[in-house]
Each structure stands twice: as C-alpha cells, then as structure tokens.
C-alpha cells in the first residue's frame, strides 16, 4: 500500500460521511423519487417508438401540460433537497401534480411517473428532522429527568399514581364505597330508596 492510496481512501471515506450527514438532514428519498417521477411524465408525450417500419406516437393533445408537470416535479424534488423547511408544501404539491398527471400525461407516464411521485410526496410530508443522539458516555434519563431504573446500585424510584387511572384493588380494600353511574358520592343509591341504575 502506498501513501497515496490511504490518502485517497481517507478522502473517499470523508466524502461518504459528508454525503451521509447531508442525506440525513433532509428528505433525501422523497426528493429522489420526485426527481425520477418527473422524467417519464415529461418524456412520454414527446416520444416516438419505432418497431421495424411501424412508428408509434405517444403524444397527447396536452403535451405542453405534461412537460410543465414533469419540470415542476423535477423542481419540487430539488426543493425537497435544498430547502427542507418547505417539505410539506412540496410534498402536497407533488401529490397533486401526480394526480393531475393521470388524465393529462398518458396515465401519469404509464404509471412510471405517477407511483414514484405519490410515494415521494407522501415521504416528504411524513419526514421530520431527527435530533442528535446523546453523547456516548452520558447517563440515560427519562423525559422527566429521573435516571433510568435498573442501573447498578440504584433503587427504582416510586412512580407517581396516574390521576386518570383507577387504583388497583376493589373499593372494599381501599375503604371506599362504590359510586354508581350518574350518582353523587354523598347520595344514597340502593334498592331501598328506589334508585336503580343500569350499568
């Protein structure tokens, strides 16, 4: 191994890491699918297929509209990559353009442009930026700031009782009288006074 090959290897590795970081900070796959979907939608209305002496034209009456839809999808894919703050707008616009391409552009570029556009738009709408992972040596904590139970030498903290969940056990164990549905705790709801409730 020469010194040049390790330098080249280090530069390639550095480039891969930079690309990975760039890719993780934006809806990369949504943009890629949207870019790819624009090509068949814009191409097929202007394409001619020649088989032997037979020429098949796939042009439609709205060829310019197909070109506009294809170019807009291409631009929206670049927008998802370069301006990830507007990813929701770009995703919704991509889905709408994909739906418009069905009647306008040969069934959405024979579905080769329609399906990636729908998937790319859905990915763009659903993508959310991630947050950095904790430093490797830090102690894990619960969202309220208490340490994670199960660490060696620590006791499990007593969790507070949820006010919306009933306490475990029957009412007799807790020393409380059950309250029937629709009745007040201080109101007598027994068979003697004629107040019977269903449920």
Domain range for residue 100? 27-126
**How many separate domains does the chain show?**
1
State pLDDT tens for residues 17-55. 999 988 988 999 999 999 999 999 888 887 777 888 887
Whole-model pTM: value is: 0.60
Residue 166 inside a domain? The answer is: no
Full 3-state SS string of 33-76: HHHHHHHHHHHHHHCEEEECCEEEECCCCCHHHHHHHHHHHHHH
State pLDDT tens for residues 83-108. 989 999 999 999 999 999 988 887 87
Residue 131 inside a domain? The answer is: no
Residue 145 inside a domain? The answer is: no
Residue 79 inside a domain? The answer is: yes
Residue 180 inside a domain? The answer is: no
């Amino acid at each position: 191994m020469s010194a040049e090959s390790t330098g080249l290897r280090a530069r390639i590795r550095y480039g891969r890491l930079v690309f990975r970081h760039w890719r993780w900070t934006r809806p990369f796959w949504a943009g890629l699918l949207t870019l790819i979907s624009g090509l068949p939608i814009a191409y097929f209305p202007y394409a001619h297929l020649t088989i032997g002496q037979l020429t098949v034209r796939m042009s439609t009456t709205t060829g310019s509209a197909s070109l506009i839809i294809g170019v807009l999808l291409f631009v929206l894919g670049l927008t998802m990559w370069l301006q990830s703050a507007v990813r929701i707008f770009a995703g919704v616009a991509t889905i709408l353009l994909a739906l418009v391409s069905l009647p306008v552009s040969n069934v959405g570029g024979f579905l080769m442009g329609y399906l990636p556009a729908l998937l790319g738009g859905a990915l763009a709408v659903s993508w959310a930026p991630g947050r950095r992972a904790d430093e490797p040596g830090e102690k894990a904590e619960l969202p309220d700031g208490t340490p994670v139970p199960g660490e060696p030498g620590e006791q499990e903290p007593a969790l507070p009782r949820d006010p919306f969940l009933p306490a475990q056990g029957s009412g007799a164990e807790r020393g409380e009288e059950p309250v029937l549905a629709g009745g007040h705790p201080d109101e007598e709801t027994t068979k003697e006074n004629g107040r019977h409730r269903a449920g």
